[in-house]
Amino acid sequence: MSEPQPTEPAPSTGRIPHGPFRPGDQVQLTDPKGRINTITLQPGKLYHSHKGSVSHDDIIGSPEGTVYRSSGGVEYLAFRPLLADFAVRMPRGAAVVYPKDAAQIVAMADIFPGARVIEAGAGSGALSCFLLRAVGEHGLVSSYERRPDFADIARANVEKFFGGPHPSWRLTVGSLEDALTETEADRVVLDMLAPWETLDAVAKALIPGGMVCAYIATTTQMSRVVEDLRAHGAFAEPYAFETLLRSWHVDGLAVRPDHRMVGHTGFLVTARRLADGVTPPVRRRRPAKGAHPAPASTPAGDAAGDVADDATPGDTTES
């Protein structure tokens, strides 16, 4: 296996373009039926469709939110793509983390401006963009990707969205377990097949109170990472969840859920890093019968007397 290859970012502001449209900007043209076509502005070029053409020169220099009429009489509304739009349409190597999950990662893993975040793996760069947006120019996102071809795609997508290399991003080709050198990290985000294999490295990298967040696809992966976090000893009780997104049709009095929705895309598991040498308190649960073998020393009736602890983050109790 070749040595990990860190890629240092070149100087850049990492800012999203704003103001009037300029050559090189990406523009979304939306037709009256809501169909979206994304173009890159080039002087002298034309956007062609079966409904006529729109000149790039007409768009360049005008503000966002402008309407252009094609040669065929169809009106197109022009905006720069939002990050959520860009993420679901970007060129892909690995599957992307969808915006609804990226939003939950930023919120539930508490990614804040100036945070030092470790990401494994980079995939196609969608989550990297959301993390970079959250940490800002004074934070740091260190992304690790095993596959050089995926790393190239991620780099191209991140630089395309931010208009160049982001000053807060470092991309390393190599596995997290072998290549990780960071310490004092605030957050670790794992988007990989077997996140439980990295828990020793993650525990060494995280500060006490830091958080690990794993994004996994299946229930068996979720079960494994939760149980291994519990057994590791360096983490507080993990929290597992998923997010479902359903849009609504609203047209006068016709108000109903849309027939299609973004259902399951992945599970998220979060856990806090304990201080060194601290033993986490034993959690008292009321599991389903047969979920765990009953210890031989457990007095009869104790399991039935346990209080279920299903509190989610933010829940409080008063005595």
Q: Which residues does the annotation place in the binding site for S-adenosyl-L-methionine? A: 124-127, 145, 191
Summarize the chain as % helix, strand, coil (round to 5). Answer: 25, 25, 50
- φ/ψ of 162, rounded to 5, equals -90, 0
Residue 136 neighbours by CB under 8 Å, 6+ apart: 113, 114, 168
Cβ burial, residue 163 (10 Å; 0-12/13-18/19+):
middle
d(CA 138, CA 151): 23
Question: Residue 262, Cβ neighbours under 10 Å: how many?
Answer: 15
Question: Does residue 104 contact residue 144 with C-beta atoms inside 8 Å?
Answer: no
d(CA 209, CA 193): 25
219: part of which helix (H) or strand (E)?
A: helix 219-232
Question: Does residue 56 contact residue 41 with C-beta atoms inside 8 Å?
Answer: yes
Q: Which residues are annotated as a binding site?
A: 124-127, 145, 191
